[in-house]
Amino acid sequence: MTELFAAVDLGGTTITCALGTAGGEIVARQTFAAETYRGPDSVLERIAECVAGLGKPVALGIGVPGLVDIPNGTTLFLPNLPTQWRNIPVAAWLKGRLGCSVSIMNDARVATLGELVFGAGRGVGTMLFFTLGTGIGGGVVIDGHLRLGPLGAAGELGHQTVVSDGPLCGCGNQGCLEAVASAPALIAEGVRAMRAGLAPHLNELTGGDASLISPRTMADSNDKAIRQAVERVGRYLGIGVSNLVSALAPDLVVFGGGMSGLGERLLAPVRAEVQKRVRMMPTDHLRIEISAMGEDAGIYGGIALAKGQEKWTTATNR
């Protein structure tokens, strides 16, 4: 019988559980509302039930939105979840219920691991991964190894400052990439443009309902103001990419997450900015791509994490 590994992607809005093979084939999956306000016990209970309902895994990997103590398998600081989620022994809890080993890691690092082990990062030496959504997470792979750093906190590529006196970010800093280039930042531009009468096509696509404005509807709009807003987000991303290219000279930059559906409209300004700003080294070998995994990198990464991270990561807590 084929060994199966479980992956859990615990988000602020939804939780996805999946089972997959060692080769990264997903054989079962289920998504449900996170309702994290119900508290860790209730949520972990539902995760355990969901996984058990899918099958019997030999190991489980779970990604959570924040800082974790990787060796001990406990949460530390999850900024977008209620405070009762701090210091929860998630790995021990799920292991006790499911009877298999459980590994925990920051969700963006898990997604990077998915891209590295099963996606565009296979066989690549050095890679930057950005996950673009409500926040902007990331991960850095150096010579085939995901850099974790103390508490697995390395790779916060969305919290680079790109506008030194820019808008306040959720993290407390000003002008982070996340503050100016995440989905909420882009959508806010769409809402303003539509209300100002500058986006008649977007108005038509959404029936004038601002709550229907999303990166997807904005990608479909041919309004000049909306095209410019997407381009501006791409340029900010391009600044962040350029800074890290100058420091690390990666082979590959990959964008995943919900906003990556903007596709070429996002990549074109990113590439233009890199060409403009990275002048101290050749960049003709550098590939900048959209992830083929869409929003599933976290699930693939969970499978990789369940299989064992040792081969793919550098030492943690140092």
Q: How far is the CB of 27 from its own copies (least distance, A)?
A: 35
**What does the alpha-carbon distance between residue 213 and residue 34 come to, in Å, rounded to a whole number?**
23
- Which residue number, 239 or 304, has a Cβ lying nearer to its own copies? 239
Total interface residues for its own copies by CB under 8 A:
49
- In 3D space, the residue among 256, 305, 304, 279 whose CA is nearest the CA of residue 127 turns out to be 256
Using the rule CB under 8 A, is 107 a contact of its own copies?
Answer: no
Toward its own copies, which CB reaches closer, 161 or 214? 161
Q: For the stretch 147-160, what's the b/e string if a residue is b when 16 or more beta carbons lie within 10 angstroms of its beta carbon?
A: bbbebbbbbbbbbb
Copy the structure tokens of residue 315: 């030492």
Note whether 239 binds its own copies by CB under 8 A: yes
Nearer to its own copies, 196 or 247 (CB): 247
How far is Cα 101 from Cα 242, in angstroms, rounded to an integer? 39
- Among the candidate windows 16-24, 94-102, 113-121, 281-289, which touches its own copies by CB under 8 A? 281-289
Stretch that binds its own copies, among 81-89, 219-227, 244-252, 257-265 (CB under 8 A): 244-252
Decide if residue 309 touches its own copies (CB under 8 A): no
140 binds its own copies (CB under 8 A): yes
Burial 219-242 (b: 16+ CB within 10 A, else e): bebebebbeebbbbbbbbbbbbbb
Report strand pairing: 14-21 vs 26-33. Answer: antiparallel
Q: Determine, following the binding rule CB under 8 A, whether residue 237 of this chain makes contact with its own copies.
A: no
Sign of torsion, CA 235 237 243 246? negative
CB 126 within 8 A of CB 251: yes
Of positions 2, 33, 123, 164, contacts its own copies by CB under 8 A: 164
In the complex with its own copies, the residue whose CB is nearer, 57 or 63, is 63
Name the residues that contact its own copies, by CB under 8 A.
Answer: 67, 125-126, 138, 140, 142-143, 147-151, 153-157, 159-164, 169, 171-174, 239, 242-244, 246-251, 276-282, 285, 314-315, 318
